[in-house]
Amino acid sequence: MLAATGPSLADDAADIRARLEQWTEDFNAKRVEGVCDLFSKELLSTVRGQGDTDYATRCDILTRSLGDPARQYHYELDIHEIIVEGDLAVVRLTWTLFITPLNVTSVEPGIDVLRKEADGKWRIIRYLSYEEEQ
């Protein structure tokens, strides 16, 4: 579902979708710079079981995960809704994470709040994520 009206909002929603899809590609290819670039330096993320983390902590967690030689991580993205209002947007989505060789699948619904920053890029400033009970 896309909740953006008019050409500008539709373009912004398309930009946000492209940023999230690029993040997925970067993560799966272990391109850390691209992974961290999706997040604003003002990030506050809340992941069930991990508490609140800032940009530096979240980027460090992702960097360590991608550098772990014992595990392979692969994300799939499912965007349910993008709502754009000015320089802020809300995305309702589900990430599915596959971890090998542990054969673990984690389904993680969440909400991302993005802001269009001074360089024109949409970045996540807040997100909430939780793993579904299996």
pLDDT tens, position by position, 76-97: 999 999 999 999 999 999 999 9
Asked if the structure places residue 75 within a domain, the reply is: yes
- Indicate the pLDDT class of residue 9, thresholds 50, 70 and 90: low
Asked if the structure places residue 77 within a domain, the reply is: yes
Q: Residue 33 is part of a domain; what is its CATH number? A: 3.10.450.50
Q: Which residues lie below 8 Å from residue 41, measured CB to CB, with a gap of 6+?
A: 55
The per-residue pLDDT for range 54-79, each reduced to its tens digit, is 999 999 999 999 999 999 999 999 99
Question: Does residue 35 contact residue 27 with C-beta atoms inside 8 Å?
Answer: yes
Tell me the whole-structure pTM to 2 decimals: 0.89
Asked if the structure places residue 134 within a domain, the reply is: no
Asked if the structure places residue 68 within a domain, the reply is: yes
Asked if the structure places residue 10 within a domain, the reply is: yes
Asked if the structure places residue 30 within a domain, the reply is: yes
Asked if the structure places residue 97 within a domain, the reply is: yes
Domain of 101 in residue numbering reads as 2-129
85, burial (CB in 10 Å: exposed 0-12, middle 13-18, buried 19+) = exposed
- Name which of 16-25, 43-52, 79-88 the model is least confident about: 43-52
In the chain, the number of structural domains is 1
Strand locations in 10-103, DSSP E?
A: 39-47, 51-54, 72-85, 88-100
Is residue 39 over pLDDT 80? yes
Asked if the structure places residue 44 within a domain, the reply is: yes
